[in-house]
Amino acid sequence: MTDGDFRHVYVIIEHEDGKILQVSLEMLGEARRMMDDFNKKYLSKEKVVAVLLGYNIKEISKTLIQHGADAVVCADNQELRFVRNTVYTKAISQIASDREIATNIEPEYAVQFKRPRYMFFGADSIGRHLSATVMAHLDSGLASDINKLVVADLQITHQNKTGGKPLTYEKTLEMYRPDFSGFLWTTILCLDNRNPATQKDFHPQACSIIPGVFEVIKPDPQRQGTIINYTPRFDEQDLKVKIIDRKIVKSEIDFDSHKAVVSFGRGVKDLPEQNIKLIEELASEIDAQIGITLPLSKRPFSVSQTVDSTYLIPDRVIGTSGRKVSPKVYVAVGISGAMQHIAGMKDSEFIIAINPDENAAIRNECDVFVKGRMEDVIPIFIEEIQKQKQAVQA
């Protein structure tokens, strides 16, 4: 492998009829910062390449350049208007392996280029599955739901990868992934098999990135970039998949029209049924929508059918695996403060946590930490809210 085989970071852009999804701009921002450091460290000139598929989308190429892309590969075609997994997977894979595109990006590596070095997808309804199928097609590795990225030269000793010998892997992407508990960070690497017995290149090193984690860079109208138009080859069979209808829906659980949100976590576990009733009461006093943490959507308690189907549902999850909310008042009841949850509520204006454990991580993320058991604390809150309401009415 020479340094020209695998180059650049390709960022897969998502948009809805020309409106760019926030996560795509966030990925561009992170790709820009990462490659600036990379090029400085390795005295290189590798690029941030935005891959844009759709119909009537030429205009947004400029926006992508302003947000950090050096080049935009734009496939503008009626067949690409909406995402169909097979059609998109093949088009993206063609783009990732296309030497002519690579030549336009960087003529000096025209001959060697094989594939991108890195590839980013959004960890959402569309990007998550696309990342999986594209990487299955390109036969390389993928880490999902990443919230931190580091490029490093790593010394690896691994039975399969290196045949047990220490070898240095240069320019390796460390992909950090918080696990389901929110307490552990797993670093995943995508490495070539350099063991002669199992030799194989695994590029690009790809990941899907959690929305809301990385900062968008300030758009710069002066930034220059290359726009490369690309016409994908379609297979007739794939076009038989027809999108008949698309209906815009509002989630049944509406957080945006409520000024307050009351959320609960595993802390309700001692008396789940009663505690959830209390939380319900508190929420109704301040007209709050009710949210939960991710572990609760796995229905860890046996509660009545009604409570279960009303509250312990994915639609109510706040955090990286659910909704992002920013109400005036956020009350976190029995929530320890795993980072996935924090990411979904940290922009709330006034945050109150109710928790018996003063060392819980949530303490660093709230304005008021009420130390105590929810069974004891919530009734006092409810009484005081009612008293103050009466005072206003009187």
In the region spanning residues 125 to 164, those forming contacts with another protein, defined by CB under 8 A, are 125-126, 128-129, 131-133, 135-137, 139-145, 154, 156, 158-161
Contact criterion met (CB below 8 Å) for 351 and 367 = yes
Q: What's the CA gap between 173 and 168, in Å, rounded?
A: 13
353 binds another protein per the rule CB under 8 A: yes
Task: Please report how many Cα atoms fall inside a 13 Å half-sphere around the Cα of residue 171, on the Cβ side.
Answer: 24
Interaction with another protein in 268-287: which residues (CB under 8 A)? Answer: 269, 272, 286
**Shortest separation between residue 8's beta carbon and another protein, angstroms:** 19
Comparing CB distances to another protein, the nearer of 39 and 157 is 157
Name residue, tokens 């018996």: 356
User: Least Å distance between CB 43 and another protein?
Assistant: 26
DSSP code, position 296: G
SS3 of 178, please?
Answer: strand
Binding piece for another protein, criterion CB under 8 A, among 31-39, 84-92, 108-116, 217-225:
84-92
Q: Is 364 in the site for another protein (CB under 8 A)?
A: yes
Sites for another protein among residues 206-245 (CB under 8 A): 211, 238, 240-245
Determine which residue in the list 110, 227, 253, 329 makes contact with another protein, applying CB under 8 A.
329
Q: Cα(215)–Cα(23) distance, rounded to whole angstroms?
A: 9
Letters for 3-42 (x = contact with another protein by CB under 8 A, - = none) are -----------x-x--x-xxx-------------------
Calculate the alpha carbon distances from 89 to 53, 86, 263, 294 in Å.
Answer: 11, 5, 38, 30
Q: Kindly tell me which of 227 and 370 has the beta carbon lying closer to another protein.
A: 370
Q: Render the burial of 228-256: b for 16+ CB within 10 Å, e for the rest.
A: bebebeeeeebeeeeeeeeeeeeeebebe
Choose which of 33, 81, 223, 346 interacts with another protein (CB under 8 A). Answer: 346
